[in-house]
Amino acid sequence: MFRFANPDYLYLLLVLPVLIMLYIYAIVRKKKALKKYGNPELLAELMPEVSYKRQHWKFWLLFGAITVMIFVIAGPQFGSKLETVKRQGVEIMVCLDVSNSMLSEDVSPNRLEKAKQMLSRLTDGFMNDKVGLIVFAGDAFTQLPITSDYISAKMFLSSINPSMVSSQGTAIGKAINLAIRSFTPNENSDKTIILITDGENHEDDAIGAAQKAAEKGIRINIVGMGQPNGSPIPIGNNNNFMKDKEGNVVITKLNEQMCQEIAATGKGLYVRVDNTNSALRALQAEIAKMTKSEVDSKVYSEYDEQFQTLAWIALFLLVVEFLTLDRKSRIFRKIKLFSAAFLLCSGMMFAQKGERKNIREGNKLYQSAKFTESEIAYRKSLEINPRSTEGTFNLGNTLYKQEKYPEAAEQYQLIAGQSQKLLNDKSINAPRLAQVFHNLGNIGMKNKEYAKSVEAYKQSLRLNPKDDETRYNLALAQKLLNDQQNQDQNQDNNQNQDQQNQNQGDEQQQQQNDQKENKSQEEQQPNEQMSQDNAQQILDAFLQDEKETQDKVKKVQAEQQQRRRTDKEW
């Protein structure tokens, strides 16, 4: 964890723009003063040792040193030791209803904003407790896992809105079940769920979920949002209100009976929110009555000072500034300051530019199906940077298109050999890396190396599980590998049988065996062909069944979603 020991000193950075403006003002004043003595171009010839560039360099070196020194005195630190601290507190999971009905304005400013304000003030009162946040409507999602980081909790609160959950409704049971699973395994700490909702439950068995929480010793405190007589749900800023499928304005009402039943089952408190702070005070009193037990919190107990590197940088800049003279020295006039660094940086930038130019040229040729020319361009880019992942990948593709499979496989193997490192460094995305293994599998199929193909296709599917073409090729490669293994086994058995017949020395029996062998070989070819056809049919049927199953699942999900949209959008 990074922090500044004295962050107030960072306000000194505001001085930096002032320094730049003063320097510009000084330059303008100096130029005006020189003009009083004559033409600046003529004066420059009379003062050959004056160097304006060196003056600029001295200022910017000093400016950089001051900037670095501000960060030094602010005290940069990294947490070096993470310890588990025992604190006396409770665990609290907040389940916040974010359905459209929470936009109703029967509580000022509206139900959702009022709930967020109350939670923010409630969080300010926590000391050693742990808090987590779940948002729910038709579904429930963990917005913030249980933590003692109250700053993060308040930050997440500010971004909550009904669009966070796509499926509308009020699935209170799902929220309670998710909250039960979100607590830490510590059995000694008191746990409570604060459920903030208007109680319009249309989705699941909220009472059953509350009963399950009570059995685990988790109390459920309900905060009812809204008024029992209800109010419409505004849409936009044009005094429009949400309507149901029949065109009637929706009036959302607080379901107090539902909220009270859940609170009673969950052995907790029910309180209704109004435009006062009574609900907040009731919650704070309820939490204060809970038994405080030891709660583990991970905190950084030691920090290492990291100012040393910055201090050395500042010292280096000051030394260079001191050694840089305002005027040109007759002795060192031919030595150009910073020229070596400039040439080094320029060379690196030029090489990088040349690499990118060749790759772009190769891409254009590749898209035009000029694979031989694109191969030349990609090889030029690799001459500049042999470690270029993009150049290696593109060269393998263009070689593959030219059916130069051994050379293409060589390029792909270079990428496959460092696949994990590339994914960690994000040098190449997973779909492109999956394509590398897919092509390696295809090359193995052409070379009848089915075992290698199977492994390559499996690796490709791990990176891109949705690729149906790779899944098809994997099934086919596995079938061909099995056929190849069976054929090799039959060959070995036939050779052993032939050896036994020769040892017997019975020519007649040998002739009969030969006839049988010939007959079996005649029958073997159509059987093999038939088995391949059957394998293809089985594979096609499998893919068709899988597609039909996915279509059914999508259809059911669409029907459920449509039913939710039709029945309740609030």
Which CATH architecture describes the domain 340-481?
Answer: Alpha Horseshoe (1.25)
Contact criterion met (CB below 8 Å) for 178 and 171:
no
Is-contact 94 134, C-beta < 8 A?
A: yes
Domain 84-299 has CATH 3.40.50.410: yes
Helix ranges (H only) for 40-185 are 40-46, 52-74, 111-124, 150-158, 172-182
Which of 132, 128, 146, 147 lies closest to 89 in space, CA to CA?
128
CA 290 to mean position of chain CA atoms: 38
Angle at 210 between CA 144 and CA 231, to 5 degrees: 75
The tokens describing 86, both together, are 């025992």
Burial 92-103 (b: 16+ CB within 10 A, else e): bbbbbbbbbbbb
Domain ranges of the chain: 2-75+308-323, 84-299, 340-481, 529-570
Contact 78, 1 (CB under 8 A): yes
Q: How far apart are CA 442 and CA 400, in angstroms?
A: 10
Q: How many other C-beta atoms are found inside a 10 Å radius of the C-beta of residue 309?
A: 11
Residues 563 and 184: their CA atoms lie apart, in Å, by 36
Question: How far is CA 84 from its chain centroid?
Answer: 28
CA atoms of 147 and 298, how far apart (whole Å):
9
Q: What is the pLDDT along the chain (570 residues), one digit of tens a residue?
A: 567 778 888 888 999 999 999 989 988 887 787 777 666 666 565 555 566 677 788 888 899 999 999 998 888 876 545 455 566 778 899 999 998 888 888 888 899 999 999 999 998 888 778 899 999 988 888 888 888 878 778 877 877 888 877 777 788 999 999 999 988 877 677 899 999 998 876 567 889 999 999 999 899 999 999 888 888 988 876 678 888 888 888 888 888 888 999 999 999 999 998 888 888 999 888 888 886 665 555 544 455 677 788 888 888 888 888 887 665 555 444 445 444 444 444 555 555 667 778 888 888 888 888 888 888 888 888 888 887 878 888 888 888 888 888 888 888 888 887 766 666 655 466 787 888 888 888 898 888 888 888 888 888 888 888 788 888 888 888 888 888 888 877 776 666 666 665 555 555 555 555 554 444 443 333 333 334 455 455 555 545 555 565 565 556 555 555 544 445 566
- For 199, the 3-state DSSP assignment is coil
Q: Which of 278, 289, 168, 142 is nearest to 223 (CA)?
A: 278
Half-sphere exposure of 240 (CA within 13 A, CB side): 7
Provide the CA 306 distance to its chain's centre, in angstroms: 29
